[in-house]
Amino acid sequence: MLVQTSRTPYRTADRELIGIRHAEAAREFLRLHPAFAETPLLPLASLAAELGVAAVHVKAEGGRIGLGSFKPTGGIHALGRLIQARAAERLNTPVRPADLPSAAVRQIAGDMVFACASAGNHGLGVAAAARLFGAEAVVYLSDGVAASFADRLARQGARVERFGADYEASMAEAAAASARNGWHLVSDSSWAGYTAIPLDVMRGYTVLFDEAADTLERSSGPASHVFVQAGVGGLAAAAAGYLRDRWGEEFKLIVVEPVGAACLGASARHGRALRITGAPTNLGRLDCKEPSLVAFELLARLADGFMTVSDTAATDAAARLAAKGAPTSPCGATGAAGLFRIAADPAARIALGLDAGSRVLLIGSETATP
């Protein structure tokens, strides 16, 4: 585990990127979806007792908008913002989120095409958002993505295109097709010159942390430790930005990655965003070899540590959570696997201040059967 002993405090510049006000703004768009509702925060008292801590809560995102993961929060917010801006320009008048269902705005949205690449839940989020607002979604899948996932995308109204042997190839084609056709590329990762839309995706994710914080503050109090799994880092960066704004500097935020795809930890060690090579991992939605630039820049300052877990540890953690009434997939349980590893290591517990008074927040980021 890499413990960031030189972590810097949350700054005004960080608050401009991601914080409390962004959750409030994102919720205005999410409320437009008829299936939007707060997801449960599950208290696991018996698990807390086994781990020797005061409380463990799991934010259960499997039921979010009926799509099986937290990802629609990002897609709806990002597409809503893009359509809002286009409509304000075309109509020459301010457009509020509440105006998006109007006939005039839906007509404008109907001429807009949003493209993305996906190996998992991001494509469903973009497809659902396009369907909600009356736009078109084109989702690029690599050859290895299951046909059942393509069928789920089609049921959301997306046009599915197959390209390449892996996610990187499908992402490159989504970007190239967007440039050729004048589409809007909606990626959940960012790179130099492309940060605004991924940042709006991340800002949508803050809604789940806003909900969790509200519930915790009404019950056991703010978390002292937050373990969040990461692929490119968007969910973890949303946790860092929002919760630092709300809870300050006292809690510990630990980013947990698969052993074979630890791009954030490697980047933190070298002080810059890196593309890595790694061993194969079955944690497909976390199998990312290069971090989102804007996410990494936040986490490099605001996370307390980076650690890795094996595929087996994540699978075992999913089974353990399911037995306690909080089912999620191994990807969704990867943060929990990090907690279990730290809790079993006396030296690591001391290093992170994990003790009998600790209150832990975990994110069950998707359904057990994605």
The ranges assigned to domains in the chain are 2-69+202-364, 72-187
pLDDT on residue 302: 97
Instruction: Please name the fold of domain 2-69+202-364.
Output: Rossmann fold (3.40.50)
Over 70: is that where the pLDDT of 105 sits?
Answer: yes
Class level of CATH domain 72-187: alpha beta
The bridge status of strand 305-309 relative to strand 2-3 is antiparallel
Alpha carbons within 13 A on the beta-carbon side of 168: 6
CA 222/CA 316 separation, integer angstroms: 27
Over 70: is that where the pLDDT of 20 sits?
Answer: yes
- Is the entire prediction scored with pTM above 0.85? yes
Q: Report the run of H or E that residue 51 belongs to, with start and end.
A: helix 45-51
Over 90: is that where the pLDDT of 1 sits?
Answer: no
pLDDT digits (tens, 9 = 90+) for 192-230: 999 999 999 999 999 999 999 999 999 989 999 999 999
Tell me if 2-69+202-364 shares its fold with 72-187.
Answer: yes
CB-based burial of residue 287 (10 Å sphere; 0-12 exposed, 13-18 middle, 19+ buried)? buried
Over 70: is that where the pLDDT of 271 sits?
Answer: yes
Three-state DSSP class for 117?
strand
CA 69/CA 219 separation, integer angstroms: 25
